[in-house]
Amino acid sequence: MGSGNGTAVTEFVLLGFSGFGPLRGPLFWGVLCIYLVTLLGNSLIILLTLADRALHLPMYFFLRHFSTVEILYTTTVVPRMLADLLASCPTISPASCFTQLYFFALFGIAECCLLTAMAYDRYAAICRPLHYTTLMNQEACVSMAGASYLMGIITGTTHSLFIFTLPFRGANTIHHFLCDILPVLRLASASTFWGEVGNLAVTIAFILTPFLLIVASYACILATLLGVTTSQGRRKVFSTCSSHLFVVILFFGTGTVAYMRPWAGSSQDTDQILALFYTVVTPVFNPFVYTLRNKEVTGAMRRLVKRYLWSP
């Protein structure tokens, strides 16, 4: 927590990559390549799920929205990160910091909710197949996707407004490469108790709770899977769930470690490594996991190539 003395902060200094020295150049090119692959891969998923009628199903409806959020989520962080890697002393204005924190929270929460909706879709398809068309009709899918964005907007707005109504005087050094909730909150020159409580509440509500709901969904799926008598049926069920489960473990695993650890035992270097993983590395896995491991998506890709590239 910052000192109560001093003038009001007019800019924040981001020290996330100050200790990297000569590694900043290779890191710049590595992050840039990963970012471009993330944009191209997720854009391809959006195009395929829109263009191919065989993918006009609830599962791919949520996948399309998830890929859209992945693009927006990583774009909130990476372009600024790339610019800071080239700057000798990266700074950010309070207004820009507020904007980044707002959209980072918005898309992060929306992503958690969409992953939960995707798990429910798999549960309904495998555990309640006779009621699937009723449970996952178009209205239900649109409502769940809309609720995901709405939760992100509400959480991002309340969190960002609360943090930036606190006074910031004197200390202006953020030991991170982005304006995340806890690093910014640490600089406030007033009591941050309610900010810490709010961050814990959001973490429990939108990271821990969705993760537990997803675990419960897959527990039911596993119980159903054990009741499938044929090995072919088991492989089919496993193939439809493994991609989503892999993305869930990556995203929620790093997010839970990052936001559920106590401040007293937290390391700023560990925070940055975890943040680098779930903001840069995790989004690039989504296209590979859902295209290389999904026969319906790879089939749609082949049909799209034949239609527009190989047709007379």
pLDDT digits (tens, 9 = 90+) for 195-254: 888 888 888 888 888 889 998 998 888 888 777 656 666 666 666 677 777 788 888 877
Per-residue pLDDT at 79? 94
Asked if residue 6 belongs to a domain, the reply is no
In a domain, 53, yes or no: yes
Q: Is residue 49 domain-resident?
A: yes
Give the pLDDT of residue 1: 40
- Report if residue 276 sits inside a domain: yes
Pairwise pLDDT comparison (163 vs 308), residue with the higher score: 163
Q: With respect to residue 189, please indicate whether it lies within any of the assigned structural domains.
A: yes
Per-residue pLDDT tens digits for 107-152: 999 999 999 999 999 899 888 989 999 999 999 999 999 999 999 9
pLDDT value at 312 more than 60: no
Q: Is residue 5 part of a domain?
A: no
Residue type, 142: V
- The per-residue pLDDT for 2 is 41
In a domain? residue 131: yes
Q: pLDDT-based confidence at 289, cuts 50/70/90?
A: confident
The verdict on residue 242 lying in a domain is yes
Residue of 102 and 286 predicted with greater confidence: 102
- Tell me what the mean pLDDT of segment 68-91 comes to: 91
Find the CATH number of the domain harbouring 65.
1.20.1070.10
> Does the pLDDT value for residue 260 go beyond 80?
no
Predicted local distance difference test score (pLDDT) of residue 295: 74
The total domain count for the chain is 1
- The per-residue pLDDT for 225 is 79
Region 70-74 average pLDDT: 94
Give yes or no for residue 164 having a pLDDT over 80.
Answer: yes
Give me the chain's average pLDDT, please. 84
| Category of 170 on φ-ψ map: left (φ > 0), alpha (ψ -120 to 50) or beta | left
Q: Which of 73-77, 85-89, 229-233 has the lowest mean pLDDT?
A: 229-233
Q: Quick one: pLDDT at residue 243?
A: 74
Q: How many CA atoms lie within 13 A of 42 on its CB side?
A: 25
**Which range of residues forms the domain containing residue 182?**
12-306
